[in-house]
Every structure is written in structure tokens, then in C-alpha cells.
Amino acid sequence: MLKRLLAEADERTLVLMDELGTGTDPEEGASLAMAVLDELAIRKVHGIVTTHLTPLKAFADQHPYLSNASMRFDYATLSPTYQLEFGQPGKSLGLIIAEKNGLPSDLISHAQKYLQTIQADRA
């Protein structure tokens, strides 16, 4: 499907992509997604692309033809408000939502330690 899109897309094309670049190593997926988005921007393709990939969110902030948007989120209820907010990417809050949905606190704490290690390795 992506191969066909790249072969045929032009300024009359509207692209809707959900989680472009996922399903593989996150860094490789983000890199591939960035290259695809660059190519679509050159062709003046219009589109909406969703992502949870942090590098892709940062890429959109730096790209002259891309912008971030996210669903507003009610932090008191940990629920989306379904209102679109332009100018900033959303936060996943995966561990907080997992705890809200009943995963044990000790498991969440264990996951938080792994997350801290992963984030420290990136720095």
C-alpha cells in the first residue's frame, strides 16, 4: 500500500495514516516515517498521520510543512475530551492509563524503572 501511495500521490491526494512506522524497531520505523513524510511534503500531498513515536512528534515540530495536534485530555479523569488541539503533540500516558485500568501498582513501578533506564540510555 505504501509503495503504491509513493508511486501515485500528488497534490490532489488526501492521505490518512494511522501509526505510520510502527510494527518494527521504533527508531527504524520513525526514520522510515520521516522519509515518507518528506516525500509526501515535496509532492504537496495533504494528510493526517497519527503516531505515538516520540521522534516523529519532534520531527513534525521542526518540519516546515508539518504540524502537531493532539486530543485534549482531562487529567483529573484520565480521559480524552475529543477536542482537537493544534500546536503540540499528545502524551501517551501509557503507564498511568495501565494503572487506571487495574494493572497492579508493583508492576507499574517495575515498568517505571525500565522506562527511566530507557530514557537515560537515550540521553
pLDDT tens digits for 20-69?
A: 999 999 999 999 999 999 999 999 999 999 999 999 999 999 999 999 99
CA–CA distance, 19 with 26 (Å, rounded to integer): 11
11 and 71 fall within a common domain: yes
Q: What is the pLDDT of residue 45?
A: 96
Q: What is the pLDDT of residue 41?
A: 95
- The secondary element (H helix, E strand) that includes residue 47 is strand 46-50
78 and 35 fall within a common domain: yes
Residues in the chain: 123
Q: What is the pLDDT of residue 122?
A: 83
Q: How many CB atoms lie within 10 A of CB 120?
A: 8
Reduced to 3 states (helix: H, G, I; strand: E, B; else coil), residue 108 is helix
**C-alpha cell of residue 33:** 516515517
**pLDDT by residue (tens digit) across 59-105?**
999 999 999 999 999 999 988 899 999 998 988 899 999 999 999 99
26 and 8 fall within a common domain: yes
85 and 100 fall within a common domain: no
37 and 52 fall within a common domain: yes
Residue 123 has pLDDT above 90, yes or no: no
* Parent domain of 17: 2-90
Q: What is the pLDDT of residue 4?
A: 96
pTM: 0.83
